[in-house]
A and B are shown apart, each in its own frame.
Chain A
Amino acid sequence: MKAMKEQEDGFGSADRYGEDKVEQLVQIKTLFFARARDLTGTNDVLLEIPLGSTTKDCLDKIVGKFPRLEEILGCVVLALNEDYTTESTVVKDGDELAIIPPISGG
């Protein structure tokens, strides 16, 4: 039951190797920049997501936790481990996903 709940939530770094056979999870650190920081109120968040997930899956999960992010996701640069990425890229354990909205000020 506990394991299932963790799967639903998927944030934080709770014990993920329960007695039950659960899907293997990978940890992804998500970095927020500019407006994404304002909307989430944080610089980064650690999320756990099933092995084989894509950056799109990560984004969906993040939007689930921070619904206000939705409004800017149509206009952001995504970087996985400081490299260019697309929504279909499969993420690995320990990856860093950066969400970078453009700044206009000067």
Chain B
Amino acid sequence: MASTTGESSRILHEIETLKSAKFDLERRISALESQLHNLNQPHNNGVSNASSTSPSTFPHGLSPDMIYRYSRHLLLPSFGVQGQLRLSKSSVLVVGAGGLGSPALLYLAASGVGRLGIVDHDVVELNNMHRQIIHTEAYIGRSKVESAAATCRSINSTVQIVEHKEALRTSNALEIFSKYDIIVDATDNAPSRYMISDCCVVLGKPLVSGAALGLEGQLTVYNYNGGPCYRCLFPTPPPTTACQRCADSGVLGVVPGIIGCLQALEAIKIASAVGDPLSGRMLLFDALAARIRIVKIRGRSVQCEVCGENSEFKAAQFQEFDYEKFTQSPLSTSPLKLKLLEPNSRISAREYRDRLHSNESHVLVDVRPEHHFKIVSLPNSLNIPLASLDGRLEEVVSALKEEEHKHKQKSKSSSNGDVELYVVCRRGNDSQRAVKYLQENGYPSAKDIIGGLEGWAQEVDPTFPSY
């Protein structure tokens, strides 16, 4: 047994060493490619010139390599040489290298956009991989921007890839956006969406906006050809309860994939000036019903506070605007940490473990939705989702009685050994709401487990699955 453990740790160590070496090599290759590209650029009008004996460019400006690489684009009568040339002279910024940004970036790089910027401050995680298809396992724990940039370069080394490894804020958005022709919103939260739209209005940039959650997706082009901006459509932000995140509600991986591909398509259409962009219209994708609807939406609102006739919203106002306050939700994707309870109404995961070990008589109620409970749960926990706690209080009562009965039999004493009542959820927010409710309904000593099952995994059992 000991030798097997030794052997596997040796192998693990070697894998880590090799992965690290591979990562360094990939970064070096990426950097050199980008250096080479920049060297070629000024002398060749943005056209890469690898190795050729034939003339480096033809009168239209496409090199032989470009003609071959993009031949299927050039063969399209409605796209052709002109479309490809316009595309190669355009610059697109993708904000967010996640579920939407991954396919958008892959297609934008492959199709030959001249300059492609990527903004993100996050790192790649294992639970991203089912939908964020630009990242590979080797990049888990590393910057999403670096990872996405490396993949883009490996697909098309002639595209100039620009890495913005920072969170988008009002302090840097104007400067970053001003360097690009088209902005692609591939973010995952409401404040970012308002901030990106406002910044596009201030700078007069078209915005290709996509969103996906669960089994639905939405797509539209804002601030383009007299069309509306995000605020014309949604002048008042949604209530915080309506702002759902993939991390809470789930998302079928291919759904943002489809919307991200459509975002790339719309950005390419705008960049190459072909077709009718999805401005003044919104595409709604319903994965379960296999249905795509396109609805007409309102035009630009003259009363819009940002793009309207009398709007005073300029760069200075943008930089002062508090988007987190406006939407009542954080710009960063870090999950909410509520503090609803007094410290003496809460116990840590470690304390709960100690009480388990000491065979303390208790009932543990898990208030997560049933489909969460099915993923993983603590032994002997009773699942009563928060939403139905009100109507299922009886179950708590009978569980407490049963536990009390067991306790009395075991201890054979007549002492009324109080049965403790604990509540757990995924991260420790809903459990506080539940405890508050229980305390107000006859269980003043109810307590919740701080940090929920995530806390349990971190403090007590690292093998307990996270999701």
Q: Does B212 contact A (CB under 8 A)?
A: yes
B286-304 interface mask toward A, CB cutoff 8 Å, 1 = contact, 0 = none? 1001000111111100000
Q: Are A106 and B296 CB-contacts (below 8 A) given A34-B213, A34-B216, A71-B242?
A: no
> What's the least CB distance linking B145 to chain A, in Å?
16
**What CA separation (Å) do A43 and B101 show in the bound complex?**
28
Q: Are A106 and B211 CB-contacts (below 8 A) given A33-B284, A82-B293?
A: yes
> What's the least CB distance linking A66 to chain B, in Å?
14
Chain B residues with CB under 8 Å of A75's CB are 234, 236-239, 242
Contact residues of B between 268 and 285, Cβ < 8 Å to A: 282, 284
A–B complex contacts, Cβ < 8 Å, 18 sampled: A72-B238, A72-B239, A75-B239, A77-B233, A77-B282, A77-B298, A79-B295, A100-B284, A100-B295, A102-B190, A103-B216, A104-B188, A105-B212, A105-B214, A105-B251, A105-B256, A106-B186, A106-B246
Contact B213 A105, beta carbon cutoff 8 Å: yes
**What CA separation (Å) do A79 and B286 show in the bound complex?**
16
Q: From DSSP, what is the main secondary structure of chain A's interface residues?
A: mixed
Contact A106 B187, beta carbon cutoff 8 Å: yes
Chain B residues with CB under 8 Å of A33's CB are 216, 284, 286
Q: Does B89 contact A (CB under 8 A)?
A: no
CB < 8 Å neighbour of A83 from B98, B210, B242, B296:
B296
CB < 8 Å neighbour of A104 from B99, B213, B295:
B213
A20-52 interface mask toward B, CB cutoff 8 Å, 1 = contact, 0 = none? 000000000000011100000001000000000
A83-106 interface mask toward B, CB cutoff 8 Å, 1 = contact, 0 = none? 110000000000000101111111
Q: From DSSP, what is the main secondary structure of chain B's interface residues?
A: mixed
Contact B210 A106, beta carbon cutoff 8 Å: yes
* Chain A interface size, under 10 / 10 to 19 / 20 to 34 / 35 or more: 20 to 34
Q: Does A74 contact B (CB under 8 A)?
A: yes
**What CA separation (Å) do A84 and B233 show in the bound complex?**
11
Contact A102 B293, beta carbon cutoff 8 Å: no
Contact A100 B282, beta carbon cutoff 8 Å: yes
**What CA separation (Å) do A33 and B282 show in the bound complex?**
13
CB < 8 Å neighbour of B241 from A71, A100, A103:
A71
Q: Does B54 contact A (CB under 8 A)?
A: no
Interface residues of A (CB under 8 A from B): 33-35, 43, 71-72, 74-75, 77, 79, 82-84, 98, 100-106
Contact B239 A105, beta carbon cutoff 8 Å: no
Chain A residues with CB under 8 Å of B101's CB are 106
CB < 8 Å neighbour of B249 from A98, A100, A102, A105:
A105
Q: Which of A34, A35, A104 has the most CB of B within 10 A?
A: A104
**What CA separation (Å) do A105 and B99 show in the bound complex?**
9
> What's the least CB distance linking B96 to chain A, in Å?
6
Chain A residues with CB under 8 Å of B286's CB are 33
Residue of A nearest to B248 (CB): A105
Given pairs A103-B218, A106-B98, 6 additional interface contacts (CB within 8 A): A77-B298, A79-B296, A100-B218, A104-B189, A106-B187, A106-B188
> What's the least CB distance linking B284 to chain A, in Å?
6
CB < 8 Å neighbour of B295 from A43, A82, A106:
A82
Contact B211 A105, beta carbon cutoff 8 Å: yes
Contact B186 A82, beta carbon cutoff 8 Å: no
Chain A residues with CB under 8 Å of B245's CB are 104-105
Q: Does B217 contact A (CB under 8 A)?
A: yes
> What's the least CB distance linking A20 to chain B, in Å?
39
**What CA separation (Å) do A82 and B236 show in the bound complex?**
23
> What's the least CB distance linking B346 to chain A, in Å?
29
> What's the least CB distance linking A104 to chain B, in Å?
5
